[in-house]
């Protein structure tokens, strides 16, 4: 492995190689965790939306509270901190 020092490409010593590999491994691990979390959250959201699909049928009148709840579920992936920090909307009564 190499690094740039004062605009010159130099070889890394063994300790630096080990440290770079550890950082790379941690980053890869975080990507896997992030992807798994995102999948699980999207799956849960789809189940919750599916549970309320009957309200969106043409012969039903959906209340504003239920419409807001469904929109909040669809907006979960736009939350700051997604997928590590998710605030689930409260289901209307």
How far apart are the C-alpha atoms of 81 and 64, rounded to whole Å? 27
Whether the pLDDT of residue 48 is over 90: the answer is yes
> What's the pLDDT tens digit per position in 4-19?
778 888 888 888 878 8
Domain ranges of the chain: 2-78
pTM of the model: 0.64
CA distances from 40 to 34, 36, 43 (A): 10, 6, 5
Tell me what the pLDDT averaged over the chain comes to: 86
**φ and ψ at 4, to 5 degrees?**
-105, 125
Return the ∠ at Cα 25 (arms to 78 and 82), rounded to 5°: 10
């Amino acid at each position: 492995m190499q690094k740039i020092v004062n605009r010159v490409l130099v070889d890394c010593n063994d300790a630096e190689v080990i440290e770079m590999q550890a950082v790379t491994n941690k980053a890869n691990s975080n990507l896997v965790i992030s992807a798994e979390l995102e999948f699980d959250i999207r799956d849960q959201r789809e189940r919750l939306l599916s549970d309320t699909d009957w309200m969106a049928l043409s012969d039903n009148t959906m209340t504003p509270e239920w419409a807001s709840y469904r929109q909040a579920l669809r907006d979960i992936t736009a939350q700051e901190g997604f997928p590590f920090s998710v605030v689930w909307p409260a289901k209307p009564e």
